[in-house]
Amino acid sequence: MTITHDFTGQTVVITGAASGIGAASATAFAAAGASVWVLDVDAGRGEAVAADIVSGGGRARFLRCDVTGDADVEHALGVVLAEDGGIDVAYCNAGIGWIKPVSTTEPDEWRRVLDIDLTGAFLVARRAFLAMRPRRSGVILFTGSPHGYRTMAETSAYAAAKAGIGGLMRALALEAAPHGIRVNSLLPGAIDTPALRAEAELSGDAEDAVRRWGAVRPLGRIGRAEEVADLALFLASPAASFITGAELLVDGGAMAAQPAGL
């Protein structure tokens, strides 16, 4: 990281922080001085991420939270508020991928993806906004995806959920702006995380898939979770004080390129 931000004295809540982009963001916010709350359904990995941060001298605590349940979200954010007194940054990042076209996606499968990737983000953002509003400050971030714009037939429910994140983010940005709260989305593209590796495995030759996904990007490689975390810290910092309602790509230039064949 070449830019340093100071989050000393700030409370940062990150969902899906037991792994990948969320874990890297938790580590980066803690290194920048924040009190970080690692929220995830995966208690084993979530506890480990928090313990790693603490052993490195940072401040982090794990809370088990399934973002699809409003009671879970209310409880988790209630613990954060009781302990830290407020929330400065809420990063709604938890999500799962989906590889099936519309025709073979069962209605219950569709609902599950939308539940985690879209409704879960809504539930967390809503309660974070309600907590931030009386203090007239705060930043809410979402992890969207370039798949919300351009996608493949197989990513059906995921593409729909991520397009929905764009609408949710813009609506909340407009509602939150008069209260001094900024709201933005990060759009990461092909970032090396356990979720991406699991998708690569589906193709039979995971290393080849990762190489191909890197090769189609103008920068010639897939990204690192830490590179997404850098953007999250920037967006949450005063350096982004005039940025709200925006979607920022961190995709190695992929969306800038004309798709092959056009």
Least distance (Å) between residue 97 CB and ligand NAD: 6
Measured from the CB of residue 172, what is the shortest distance to ligand NAD in angstroms? 17
Tell me how far the alpha carbon of residue 138 is from its chain's centroid.
16
Pairing of strands 35-40, 59-64: parallel
Q: Identify which of 258, 260, 250, 262 has the alpha carbon closest to the alpha carbon of residue 21.
A: 250
Query: Residue numbers of the site for ligand NAD (CB under 6 A)?
Result: 15-16, 18-22, 40-42, 65-68, 93-96, 116, 120, 143, 145, 188-191, 193-196
* DSSP 3-state of 250: strand
Query: What is the closest distance, in whole angstroms, from the C-beta atom of residue 77 to ligand NAD in the complex?
Result: 13
Which residue in the block uniquely carries the two structure tokens 């830490």? 226
What SS3 class is residue 247?
A: strand
Question: Could you list the active site residues?
Answer: 158
Q: Are 73 and 67 in contact (CB under 8 A)?
A: yes
Q: Which is nearer to ligand NAD, 15 or 237 (CB)?
A: 15
Q: How far is the CB of 143 from ligand NAD (least distance, A)?
A: 4
DSSP states along 33-100: T-EEEEEES-HHHHHHHHHHHHHTT-EEEEEE--TT-HHHHHHHHHHHHHHHS--SEEEE--------
User: For residue 107, what are the contacts with CB-CB under 8 A and spacing of at least 6?
Assistant: none
The answer to whether the CB of 238 falls within 8 A of the CB of 177 is: no
Residue 70 CB, nearest approach to ligand NAD (Å): 12
